[in-house]
Structure formats: structure tokens, C-alpha cells
Chain A
Amino acid sequence: MFITKYIKDVFGALKSLGVGMKRTLYYFTHHKEIITEQYPDNRETMHLPERFKGEVVMPHDEKNEHRCTGCTACELACPNGTIKVVTKFEITPEGKKKKAIDKLVYHLELCTMCNLCIVACPSDAIKMAQTFEHSVYDRNELTKILNNPGSKIMDGVE
């Protein structure tokens, strides 16, 4: 019958709308199930996983020594020229010439955080830091020199 089908359709439609509204009202009254994070206000409590790829850094120990030998493996592994290794020759106490880094230039504005340089590094000299708020007023500030001024290579790293 047309008329019974029509009435059924109307009540079925109203029911389906009610079911959806019930779900919306459920979350309206259950505030504890809301998972929104208030980002700029929760900076202290916010936790980023240790593998998060924020930017490339070079860790230094307390004697201002790093592990970079200047082998340019990271420069070769980088797909878009983010890393430039500038090397120099140092005279060791034995009088031998030894290759060392002068500076390791890192262009944060080019970096895509692909992690290939970290994987390529044979001496674990660089790693990813968990910083992510990178905005600055001047573009030049994004070009960074990763080794500290006056830093030396760690003993025993070849």
C-alpha cells in the first residue's frame, strides 16, 4: 500500500535523524571523552616521541667535542642539498695532516626531515631533535652551523 509505505518512510526518516542527534547530544554531555588538546597552553606537558623528526642537530659533550669526522656521507645522502660540509686540514701533535670539519652548514628551510642523513652517518655525529616551532622573522636565521665554535672531534672517533 502506498499510504502505509509513506507513513513508514516518514517515521523511519525521523528515527534516523533522532539516532544521529542522540550521538551528538551524548558528546555534548560527556566532556571527559573530548580529546582536544589546547596546544599553545600545553607546552609544558606536551610530549613528543623521541624519534620525532624536528631538525638536525649535532650533539656536543661537556668538553665541547663532537663525533663528526667530515666524511660528507650526509651531504651525499641528502636529496636536496640541505647539508654542506666544509672541511679543513688540522696538524695533529704527531705532525700529521688530518681532515676535520671547519663547519657543517645546515639549511633548515630546505630540509624535508627524510632522515636519510642520520641513517647514512657512520659515526652517529648528527641526530634529529624534537623541536618543531621553527618560525623566525628573518630567513637567514634558518641557515645554521651545527658544530659549536671552537669544538673538536672526540678522541677515538675515526
Chain B
Amino acid sequence: MFEEIGTNAEGDMMINMGPQHPATHGVLHLVITLNGETIKKVDPHLGYIHRSIEKMCESLTYRQFIYVTSRMDYLSAHINNHACAMCVEKGMQIEVPGRAQYIRVIMDELTRIASHELWWGAMSMDLGAFTPFFHSFRERETINDIMEETCGARLTMNYMVPGGVMNDIHPNFQRRVKEFIQLYKRKIHEYDELITGNVIFQNRMKGVGVLTAEQVISYGCTGPVARGSGVSCDVRKWWPYEVYDKVEFNEVIETGGDSFARYLIRMKEMDQSIRIIEQLIDNIPDGDFQAKTKAVLKLPKGEFYSKVETARGELGVYIVSEGGTTPYRIKFRSPGFSNLSILHDMAKGGKIGDLIASMGTLDLVIPDIDR
């Protein structure tokens, strides 16, 4: 790997970006072939944060393996846990109580807003604007406080368990979520003032990193990356789970395909998440927060698959069970891996400065890609 660095036979420069580069948000290693300032090839090297989570899960029981998945896509930890819990419930044929379904969806949407807010701050910092980072973390802090009060942790919650949620919501939960919605509506215009309308930002985003719908489909991209190119792929709309078929929201689609389209999608998705929470927060039904389950879960022999929409795209959980207390094989279909593989097609022919901007809009989380 390292002998590649330097100059190749055609006289092109090859440089390393990462694995300790601030703009790759983790330990992603890109080997970039450059002709002057023009990118000829981007070669991602993975494996720096591989923890063999799939193999680890094979030795853990169906209750225990869920906490590990918080460490995959740590910014949407709730949604990862949700996918795993749903897959186990599918195998055990557990009916989740209505209260738990409502709490799960509210938590998922809060996580999505927190994730998009962190992405907004981090991407702006990649482009050289430092102030937005503090603005987005101010609102994200409120969500983290809500999570901390109900789940007991700020990032790796382990709140979803097979059959429902671990604890009932905190008595303050509904009040604080409503306060957060008010705060969000008061502050969201600052995001547009600071960044969206800014001329430097627009010139760096518009027409950069263009992806066509065919490219996006052939690489299996999902989430905001696919929807930015006009591909409708929202799991919440197409294969609704929990109470997503009861709430009204729009699947945000842009047809530009450039970095600015992907940026706008995430900004509008936050508004849609707020809309979902507003519909649910006052109507949480009474009842159990957890279904009665056996102390030891044993999935019947067979194969089970469930998928959810995380903040980055479609996360699939595939469990092969031999009938025991631990899974025989677990496979996670992570959105980040597909979104990263399109990076070469996206950056080829562009300038190296634009690579940072377009990679920022892919919203990569490296532990999700390596697992």
C-alpha cells in the first residue's frame, strides 16, 4: 500500500488523505491520484476501525447484541438499535405495544435531527466556516439532554429492547420535547442566514459532485444521497414500520444531484422530522412500554430481515438463526458503505478542493462503514 505513494509511472502525483485527516471525520484513508489539481482517481482504504461487530454478535444473545450496534453508526444509535430489535421481534412474532411504537418513532426522529445537525456543523467546518459548528451544537445539546433524561446516556443509549423500550419515558419528556420544537423553530432561520444563502458556500456547492440517478442506483446508495439525485427510496414511505403509516410527512426529493441538492434535502428533512414529532408527542397512548417476553429469547430456525431509514439511508439487519439463543450469522447492510463507494465517480475530473465539499455532503460515518 505504501509504495504506491509518490509518483506513478505516468507522472501523476499520489497523495494520502487520512487516516488522521480532520475532514474525513474518522479514520478513512483516501489515496488520491492527481494530475495537477485535477483528481484522476480516489481510492478509499478501509479497515482502520474494524471491530468485527458482526462476528461479535454471533457470541451474544438476542438481548445482548443490540448494545453493540450503537457503536456502528453512533450518530443514529437509536435507529440502529431499532432495526435490530425489530428483526428479533419479527422472528419471535412479538407484538409491540402502541406506546412503545410511539416512543420509538419520536426517539428515531429526534436522533435524525441530532445527526443532521452535527452533519451541518461538521460539513460547514470542512468548508472553513467555524461559527456554524457552535450554532448546531447548541440545538443538538438540547436533544442530548432529552435523551439523557429518558435513556440515561447521551450517545450510546441501548434504549430499544426486543418487545419495546427499556424504560418508560421520563415525566418531563413531553414538555421538554415541546420546548425543543419551539427552540428549533425559533433558531432554524439562523442556519439559512449563516450558511445557505452565503455566496461563498453556494459557489462551492452548486454544480459540484454531480451524481446521476443511474449512478446512484447502480451503487446502491440510499438516503439523502439518492434522494438528492431524484431517486425516491425512503423506507419510511415505501415500507412503513411502527407508526410511520399513521403520520403525515413528505419524502424530500431534489433533482439537482449536486452537493447543494443533498444539502437542501437534509435541511428539509429536519423540518419533516419536527412535523412527525409534533403529530405524535401529544398522542402517546397509555399502556405498557414493553411487551411481555420470555427471559431467554430463542429465535426459530430461519432467516429474518428488517430495514429502517437511518439518518444516512437504509440500514438492513439480516439474522440467520439455527434455533439457539445466539444468532448463527448476522449481516448489517450499512448505508455508509454504499455511499462511500460512489466517491470515485463523484470526485473524478473535479478539483481536490471540491473533494472535501462533496465528501462532506455524503455524510460519512466511518465506524458504520467498517463495523
Contact = CB atoms under 8 A, between A and B. Distances in A.
Interface of A: 12-13, 16-17, 19-20, 22-24, 35, 48-49, 51-53, 77-79, 112-116, 119, 128
Interface of B: 60, 63-65, 67-68, 131, 138, 141, 148-153, 156, 158, 161, 166-167, 170, 190, 193-195, 197-200
Contacts of B150: 51
Contact of B198 (A20, A49, A52, A77): A20
Given A24-B194, A53-B153, A112-B67, 16 more contacts: A16-B198, A20-B193, A20-B194, A23-B190, A23-B193, A23-B194, A35-B141, A51-B151, A51-B170, A52-B153, A79-B60, A79-B67, A113-B156, A116-B63, A116-B158, A119-B166
Contact of B197 (A16, A35, A51): A16
A128 B153 CA distance: 12
B158 A19 contact: no
A115 B60 contact: no
Given A16-B197, A20-B194, A20-B198, A52 B152 contact: yes
A77 B150 CA distance: 22
B277 to A, nearest CB: 20
Given A79-B68, A115-B166, A51 B152 contact: yes
A52 B157 CA distance: 10
A48 B153 CA distance: 11
A51 B67 CA distance: 17
Contact of A77 (B63, B148, B167): B63
Contacts of B131: 24
Contacts of B149: 49, 51
Nearest to B172: A49
B139 to A, nearest CB: 10
Contact of B167 (A13, A22, A51, A113): A51
Contact of A116 (B64, B138, B170): B64
A119 B141 CA distance: 27
Q: Top 10 nearest A-B pairs by Cβ distance?
A: A13-B199, A79-B64, A114-B67, A51-B152, A53-B152, A49-B149, A114-B158, A16-B197, A16-B199, A23-B193
Contact of A115 (B141, B152, B194): B152
Given A12-B199, A13-B199, A115-B166, A128 B152 contact: yes
A116 B153 CA distance: 14
10 contacts: A20-B194, A51-B150, A51-B152, A51-B170, A52-B153, A53-B152, A78-B64, A79-B60, A79-B64, A128-B152
Given A13-B199, A16-B197, A116 B152 contact: no
Contacts of A16: 197-199
Contact of A19 (B148, B151, B193): B193
Given A17-B198, A52-B152, A116 B190 contact: no
A149 to B, nearest CB: 29
